[in-house]
Amino acid sequence: VEASIPEPQREAWKRNQTAAFKSSDEFEKEVVRHVETSLARSMFNCDEKAAYSATSLAFRDRLILDWNKTQQRQTYLDSKRVYYLSLEFLMGRALDNAMLNVGMKDTAKAGLADLGFRIEDIIGQEHDAALGNGGLGRLAACFLDSLASLDFPAWGYGLRYRYGIFKQEIIDGYQVEVPDYWLDFNPWEFPRHDVTVDVQFFGSVKKVTNEEGKSVAVWEGGEIVVAVAYDVPIPGYDTPTTNNLRLWSSKASGGEFDFQKFNSGDYESSVAEQQRAETISNVLYPNDNLERGKELRLKQQYFWVAASLYDIVRRFKKSKRAWREFPEQVAIQLNDTHPTLAIVELQRILIDVEGLDWDLAWEIVTGTFGYTNHTVLPEALEKWPVGLVQHLLPRHLQIIYDINLFFLQSVEKQFPDDREILTRVSIIEESQPKMVRMAHLAIVGSHKVNGVAELHSDLIKTTIFKDFVEIYGPDRFTNVTNGITPRRWLHQANPRLSELIASKLGSHEFLKDLSQLNKLELLVQDKEFKKEWAEIKFANKVRLAKYIKETTGVNVNPSALFDVQVKRIHEYKRQQLNIFGVIHRYLTLKAMTPAERKKQMPRVSIFGGKAAPGYWMAKQIIHLINAVGSVVNNDEDIGDLLKVLFLEDYNVSKAEIICPASDISEHISTAGTEASGTSNMKFVLNGGLIIGTCDGANIEITREVGENNIFLFGNLAEDVEDLRHAHTYGSHTIDPDLAKVFEEIQKGTFGSVHDFSAMIAAVKDHGDYYLVSDDFHSYIETHKLVDEAYRNQEEWVVKSITAVARMGFFSSDRCIYEYADGIWNVEPLPRRD
Ligand code: GPU
């Protein structure tokens, strides 16, 4: 249906076009209008929440005008687009980011002040959009910011979960999960009730002969769930480009079927059916680096993939181009294996719906997809039981078998004498029950596979995907080291530091060309500059100390060394190593005379992070941290020399307070286990140093900032296998200092001996898989070096400035250019208006 307004009437439209506010007066007008109309309130009942809502609606209106123009232009120019498929987008708050990206924060600040509000209080009203678990979801959010800021025509596709990651409460030292219902009022989304896709599940496949005498598959029966689009505008920084994040929400298909049920008095079962459909987009699975193979999770994956591909194909078809041009118009990036069914779905659309032959379709598919791997941990590699896929998606299973058949045939040709390789690389694992290996499917169906840091990309080529390098050659595999957006993680989180840097570099250009930070190195001997630098760090620590006081009641001294480890709780990330180290410090202090104690460097050990609800050991680690905190923080011998805190409900908006306030942060995973890490980058960009292992992006951070500006310790990835082997088959002795820590825990110093015994047994009796004991000594010694270095504040500030100056490489802008160049083959499309 043609919905376009005919030429003669367009004058009237142009005359009445909506104008974006430009001054604080115009902004105020918009806020008042939204309070009075959208919210139906007045100046007599406008609290901060209402002021936040109205401010957000005013900015949303502004963004959508830019959004419209961006989309019109992208459609008109019909250039290649990027689609980033991710089950997680950990966006955090939108208002502050929107104000800064459109360059209107000062305008809004003045306007809000005029109306009786402080901008910080208004920003603080917003509920985080927490549609992700950790690094993987936050990476997707940083990428969206960079794609828009660099003017790439790009869309994100995800699920609109009703419940994001749970809210964490700490009750009596234990984690308790509370549902995160965030949608009661979300001014940042545009429901598109007219943009829907019917998604089919279950049913059966029959072969029929078509008019041309060809046998074709018809997937019929089963049930339909409707996907409804919700659009979230993504503003670029200092550009009118505003991209789209499209999130799908599930709803029952309704229609005649329900009506029949209703008439036959079966109202309840039709309601139940509706609820079942809505369950699909109900909740984000709270696991990080773990796949548990739940049927509903597979349903989520297909629902989201099918709706997104339908949308992408619909947009392509509007251009009336030949199918073989599809990969020239469309690049789809798979954020981990979660969207791998997209490969099968596109093949299905092309052969079953559009009637292409298999080989052409497959060429189009592999030309379109790229796959990013984010882990080598075996428990995180996705596999689905063949029976489940058969039941839920019968046609897709047939196509998977065909893809596998053709793939294995070609491998057999290439390696005629090697039977073993076929078993190893098959997309189907011949286990009991048989499983579909999603990573294998993703590799076979993509033209590029990338890891997320150099070490990680090397590891996937030499371990889990080794055979595929033999088969496809090394060119299919590449590295794109992760990055972070300097807009949120410097400009927004640390405005004073951002302004200091801008004043020295002469502009804010560094926010879009982070390599310009290197000019700061010329200033490392500038006394005044160093003083300001140190003052800003101190002010950020004061702010965090205030937050700690408010949330935990504990007083911390902002002059102490702030030592932070905030990230998901996981044995491989080794918060247990950290807390054992803290106990060792406590015991050492206790053993000292008061005179000796006076000479020690005061420390504040700060932890934060969520444990997956079903991850028992991670929950024990949280409990031990809290238990140690309640002993240490109340020990009068210790006073300010050591405080131990667990900050509840770590999330993006809390990270914005915590990252600028660290002196040192801990990135201490067992070597070879953390694919990249990205918070390591956030802390260094904010002038904190790192204590870390030779793992993930720590290695590249070291290369950039220099070995003198980072504290590395521990065994190397290449030695891990041998050490593990020795633990199991040789004699396994525990580090003596660690043994003393264990004795203290077992004495009951920190309460519940029973609770902590499993953590100790994992090291002592079960092979110490994560090498806690092997790395303990070097960890403790390196912390001593940190204390020593921190005594020399003058030198410490030089390290801090030098490190920041050398962090340019870790901007997510650099990542996006690398993907655009090496994987997507897309160009930016700047708007000239
Ligand atoms: N990552 Br797999 C997650 O946050 N969740 C996951 O389920 C998987 C990976 C992380 C990696 O652990 C981290 O090292 C990396 O920096 C991040 O993805 C982004 O690539």
Residue 768: strand, helix, or coil? coil
**Could you tell me whether strands 603-608 and 561-566 are parallel, antiparallel, or unpaired per DSSP bridges?**
parallel
Distance CA 443, CA 450 (A): 10
Per-residue confidence (pLDDT) for residue 210, from 0 to 100: 86
> Which protein residue's CA is at the shortest distance from atom 6 of ligand 1?
289
| Ligand 1 centroid to residue 133 C-alpha, Å | 9
Tell me the pTM.
Answer: 0.98
- From ligand 1's centre to the CA of 696, what distance in Å? 11
Q: Is 677 in the pocket of ligand 1 (CB under 6 A)?
A: yes
For residue 483 and ligand 1, the question of a CB distance below 6 A is answered with no
On the question of a cis peptide bond just before residue 433, with omega within 30 degrees of 0, the verdict is yes
Residues 6+ apart with CB under 8 A from 663: 537, 541, 561, 562, 563, 688, 689, 790, 796
- The rounded distance, in Å, linking the Cα atoms of 238 and 509 is 10
Q: Note the helical H segments in 688-752.
A: 698-705, 717-729, 736-747
Tens digits of residue pLDDT in 606-617: 999 999 999 999
Q: What are the pLDDT digits (tens) for 179-236? A: 999 988 899 999 999 999 999 999 999 999 988 888 899 999 999 999 999 999 999 9
Tokens linked to 785: 């070096």
Angle between helices 341-348 and 394-414 (to 10 degrees): 100
The residue contributing the CA closest to ligand 1 atom 16 is 677
Sequence ranges of the domains in the chain: 1-77+105-116, 78-93+128-479, 559-805
Determine the atom of ligand 1 nearest the C-alpha atom of 674. 14
Low-confidence ranges of the chain (pLDDT < 70): 1-2, 255-264, 833
Distance, CA of 193 to CA of 191 (rounded, Å): 6
Residue 254's pLDDT is 75
- Say yes or no: CB of residue 675 within 6 Å of ligand 1: yes
Please give the pLDDT value at position 42. 97
| Residue 818: CA count within 13 A, CB half-sphere | 19
Which residues touch 15 (CB under 8 Å, ≥6 apart)? none
Q: What is the pLDDT of residues 344-395, one digit of tens each?
A: 999 999 999 999 999 999 999 999 999 999 999 999 999 999 999 999 999 9
Residues with a known catalytic role: 374, 567-568, 573, 678, 682
Is ligand 1 within 6 A of the CB of residue 452? Answer: yes
User: Ligand 1 pocket check: which of 133, 136, 373, 683 to mutate, most ligand atoms within 8 Å of Cβ?
Assistant: 136
Class of residue 9 by CB neighbours under 10 A (exposed 0-12, middle 13-18, buried 19+) = exposed
Pocket residue to mutate for ligand 1, from 90, 143, 284, 288, most atoms within 8 A of Cβ: 288
* CB of 439 shorter than 6 A to ligand 1: no
Gap from CA of 27 to ligand 1 centroid (Å):
40
Q: What is the pLDDT of residue 3?
A: 83
pLDDT at 184: 84
Centre of ligand 1 from the C-alpha of residue 23, in Å: 42
Which superfamily does CATH assign the domain made up of 78-93+128-479 to?
Glycogen Phosphorylase B; (3.40.50.2000)
In this prediction, residue 273 carries a pLDDT of 79
Residue type, 793: Q
Ligand 1 atom 1: the closest Cα is on which residue? Answer: 136
Instruction: Give yes or no for residue 134 CB within 6 A of ligand 1.
Output: yes
- The pLDDT value recorded for residue 338 is 98
Measured in angstroms, how far is the CA atom of residue 454 from the centroid of ligand 1? 15
Work out which ligand 1 atom sits closest to the CA atom of 372.
20
Quick check: CB of 799 below 6 Å from ligand 1?
A: no
CATH number listed for the domain at residues 559-805: 3.40.50.2000
CA dihedral 123→128→129→134, nearest 10 degrees, is: 130
**Measured from the CB, is residue 286 less than 6 Å from ligand 1?**
no
Judging by DSSP bridges, how do beta strands 330-335 and 154-159 pair with one another? unpaired
Q: What is the pLDDT of residue 275?
A: 87
Does this chain's domain 78-93+128-479 share its CATH topology with 559-805? yes
